[in-house]
Structure 1
Amino acid sequence: MQKRESFSSRLGFLLISAGCAIGLGNVWRFPYITGKYGGAAFVLVYLLFLVIMGLPVMVMEFSVGRASQKSIALSFNALEPKGTKWHIYSWFGIAGNYLLMMFYTTIAGWLVLYFVKMLKGDFVGLDSTGVGNEFSALMGQPGLMALFMVIVVVLCMLICSRGLQNGVEKVTKVMMLCLLALMVVLAINSILLEGAGEGLKFYLMPNFHNLAYDANGNFILGEAVYAAMGQAFFTLSLGIGALAIFGSYIGKEHSLGGEALRVGVLDTFVAFTAGLIIFPACFAFDVAPDSGPNLIFITLPNVFNAMPMGQVWGALFFVFMSFAALSTVIAVFENILSFCIDKWGWSRKKAVLVNTVAIIILSLPCLLGFNVLSGFQPFGAGSGVMDLEDFIVSNNLLPLGSLVYLLFCVSKYGWGWDNFLAEANTGEGLKFPKGVRFYVTYILPIIVLVIFVFGYNDKFKLWDKLVALLGM
């Protein structure tokens, strides 16, 4: 039997696990919802949920990986009691990895393209309408989008083809360290801009009134708390085995509570620093920090246009954004390749070749959804293929997958609490507390289900429809 690969260093494990968790949600979603729900007050609520919800599930996912020494393909098979069916989830988990890559590779391609455009000076001299038109024009160019999507897929698969230590670990370590350094430089530049003080005040001064009430005086505390729960949960990419795979590559020298905490701190540092880059810059140039693609592809190019040496800062920003996206792509690709290697005994080379072709083909509907397939609007006007793929992953597979890992680790019908705790606490460092057994067994699953239900309500306004139906 082939010996399982392992990381050459603990730093490699931490940076790659953080790289998987650190993605576009940190950079464009976190600053926006932080601003929407009261700045620093929202951050405090978010950190609370990160500790009481995100970290326990991350420890569980790492534990299942390390104890089984397998990817999601066979990890449940290795640990489940004889005759139980936990392993069925492995197919849903790997489907989540493929679905995530079906739209993530397209966005990563946009970021690499925007780095090239910023470097070439394509935005120099354009007003805000001109910058917006650049993005609109890109949406109508499926060939150009496909080219950069293919570049992303091939580049990341080539890195994974070199193996864990020589490819994934070596490249991701450099990429993540550069990303962290770039963020600090960009944040300092934004903070030193004239007029940046208002942005810092908005972002860093807790405003508990804005956490409870919106600009129109509507009570939104429940909505804000749900947003904090959702962000804490989804930012870590939990539930589809994307983190468990890295647990399977590490030794038993360190306890998993401490490792999960470090990954969570790195993830939060990136999200928080993204706000330090975006808010001062937007306020300095009187630009609204919009959410979603507008922020990255329309709002910020306008900011860089108005900034001294904006072309340089803009190019650096899109290098950092590309690194954030590519680190996630590489981590998820590694999970997909390990699934094929564990499940069917494929060589790494075969897994890379088959999956390169498969992911390129599977990624086409997303980018065609902005042009050729724009008539397909699954959630009504303005929605597209990407929205459907994102909904299946974010609102279904991540919360329900996390619930599977959670129940597997605490239930006597699964791996069981004692086995989980022994694995999590093997090694030096922060231990997973025994005293939280009741909380993680009975309360945490309810919180995860609440996120799942609220996600559906948020998407389809189910509560409003029920109220209307009952004539209340």
Structure 2
Amino acid sequence: MSTKSKKNSSKDQFSSFGFIMAAIGSSVGIGNMWKFPYLAGANGGGAFLFTFIICLILVGIPILLAELALGRAGRGDAMSSFQTLAVRHRKFWGFFGLLSVIAAFLIITFYMVVTGWTFQYAIGSFTGNLYRQTDNAAYFAQFAGGPLPLVYTVITVLITGAVLIKGVSKGIELFNKILIPILAILLVVLMIDAMSLSGGMKGVEFFLKPDFSLFTIESTLIALGQAFFSLSLGMGAMITYGSYVDKSQSLGKATLAVSLGNIVYALIAGLIIFPITFAFGLEPAAGPGLIFVALPTAFADMPFGHVIGGTFFVLLAGAALTSCVSVLEVIVAFVIKHLNWTRRKSVIVLSIITAVVAIPVSLSVGGPIADWKLFGKGVFDLFDFTASNILLPVVGLAVTIFIGYISKKGAEEAKLNPSLHRIWISLLRYVVPVFVILIFLYSTGLI
């Protein structure tokens, strides 16, 4: 390995606080701010929130700790960490690390497109252009299918690349240490404003008061999947970040901090969206269109709505960018390790490739290639389905089995006290695999 590669892959590490901020940044993305609220709205509000937290404890936290332990013990990218710790069948286990890198690539291409959408909506809200029309659904369709998202995607790629090219401590860590606290402050400000709206407390009650009459077995499976996906599991991000963690860092405490941060961000997001939803008579179960179609209607009628709406979409953009950084870093670390490239070369080349591949991804959302289908799905939906519904659960299951049964060194890296260690390993061996298989079967439509 070249001197530059070795420096970037092994010596450049997170500080304790910086790691927690970076890990929270990775897990807190559009999934928390966008997907979680509309899933909760469609599945009983507080009942979904309660079930989500239980699933996070039983499934999300054990796998998150396993990925961090795997990364720190392996001290490499997602693929080489598996290979380093595997006593036998190194190529077999390394294959699952490679799958996580492939998943990260698929995810980053469409995630950067969505991040670009949030930029447009933030600018459109602050300038008032977003509210100079009445059909928000038509506005979104026209915008998403046009050329402008390509410009915002390139901007997203440039910002992400600029962070990563600075390395771990001066790039990823510094970026998250600045952005995550700012996002937290903005979230709280918007939450207080939303809850003070007339009728807003009805939204708070809907979100926090469990109504299990609206909850079904399918809702449980959805909450289970959200608990898994919301922590950035299965895509190699936490394995890669784990490889940058100092040996003195308590992985157990860090896991709890990241999981708590994940819950808090999702909780506050709900306390922003549902008060607004109820105050303006919107449908809480509006689905994916809740953010880009329904909420702009409320912002248009709200006092200082252009500022509030703009701030909300800036929050979305910031949360999305922290996730973009962690996902692209998975691929950067892989290339540095296996091609012996410098970090600078890796980031530049991968940024160009990502931007090029994102073009058909963006144009498949109502654009000129929207009718191009493979397995009945457009490019955007195909990348999303393949990564989120197939690759992430498969890799998550592999991590669970690997740390639970195969790698004693990886399991010991968690450095838990004996009682907690036994509980954690028991969950990994007997509970988590069953739930991850259920996630896979449900997300792929097999059940």
5 Å-filtered alignment, 1:189-200, equals 189-200=193-204
Distance across 2 between alignment mates of 1:241 and 1:260: 16
User: 1:52: which partner in 2?
Assistant: 58
Post-superposition offset of 1:290: 4.7
Post-superposition offset of 1:292: 4.7
Q: Does 1:277 align with 2:241?
A: no
User: 1:311: which partner in 2?
Assistant: 306
Cα 1:37–1:132, aligned 2, differ >3 Å: closer, same or farther?
Answer: closer
Which letter does structure 1 place at the counterpart of 2:122? F
2:141 alignment partner, one of 136, 158, 163: 136
1:386 alignment partner, one of 380, 388, 401: 380
Residue deviations 1:242-281 (CA, integer Å, cap 9, x gap):
1111111111223312211110110111111111000001
Normalised by the length of structure 1, the TM-score is 0.89
User: 2:398: which partner in 1?
Assistant: 404
User: Does the 8 Å CA contact 2:52/2:227 hold for their aligned counterparts?
Assistant: yes
Distance across 1 between alignment mates of 2:188 and 2:418: 28
Pair member with larger Rg? 1
Q: Does 1:352 align with 2:352?
A: no
User: Does the 8 Å CA contact 1:41/1:206 hold for their aligned counterparts?
Assistant: yes
Post-superposition offset of 1:384: 2.5
User: 1:470: which partner in 2?
Assistant: none
User: 1:122: which partner in 2?
Assistant: 129
User: 2:79: which partner in 1?
Assistant: 73
SS at match of 1:338: helix
Residue deviations 1:368-407 (CA, integer Å, cap 9, x gap):
1021111124465xx5321111111111111100011111
User: Does the 8 Å CA contact 1:399/1:448 hold for their aligned counterparts?
Assistant: yes
Distance across 1 between alignment mates of 2:48 and 2:287: 19
Post-superposition offset of 1:436: 4.5
User: 1:415: which partner in 2?
Assistant: 407
Q: Does 1:106 align with 2:113?
A: yes
Post-superposition offset of 1:435: 3.6
SS at match of 1:402: helix
Normalised by the length of structure 2, the TM-score is 0.94
SS at match of 1:70: coil
Q: Does 1:335 align with 2:330?
A: yes
Distance across 1 between alignment mates of 2:335 and 2:107: 17
Cα 1:279–1:222, aligned 2, differ >3 Å: closer, same or farther?
Answer: same
Q: Which runs of 5+ in 1 are unaligned?
A: 212-220, 464-472
Distance across 2 between alignment mates of 1:198 and 1:376: 43
User: Does the 8 Å CA contact 1:425/1:431 hold for their aligned counterparts?
Assistant: no
- The count of corresponding residues between Structure 1 and Structure 2 is 439
Q: CA RMSD in A?
A: 1.8
User: 1:264: which partner in 2?
Assistant: 259
- Identity %, equivalent residues: 33
User: 1:320: which partner in 2?
Assistant: 315
Distance across 1 between alignment mates of 2:350 and 2:427: 40
User: 1:218: which partner in 2?
Assistant: none
SS at match of 2:192: helix
Post-superposition offset of 1:233: 0.8
User: Does the 8 Å CA contact 2:145/2:364 hold for their aligned counterparts?
Assistant: no
Distance across 2 between alignment mates of 1:60 and 1:8: 19
User: Does the 8 Å CA contact 1:66/1:247 hold for their aligned counterparts?
Assistant: yes
Post-superposition offset of 1:430: 11
Which letter does structure 2 place at the counterpart of 1:57? I
Distance across 2 between alignment mates of 1:139 and 1:240: 26
Distance across 1 between alignment mates of 2:293 and 2:41: 18
Cα 1:283–1:441, aligned 2, differ >3 Å: closer, same or farther?
Answer: same
Q: Does 1:40 align with 2:46?
A: yes
SS at match of 2:413: helix
Post-superposition offset of 1:66: 0.5
Distance across 1 between alignment mates of 2:69 and 2:424: 17
2:218 alignment partner, one of 197, 200, 223: 223
User: 1:12: which partner in 2?
Assistant: 18
User: Does the 8 Å CA contact 2:35/2:288 hold for their aligned counterparts?
Assistant: no
Which letter does structure 2 place at the counterpart of 1:167? G
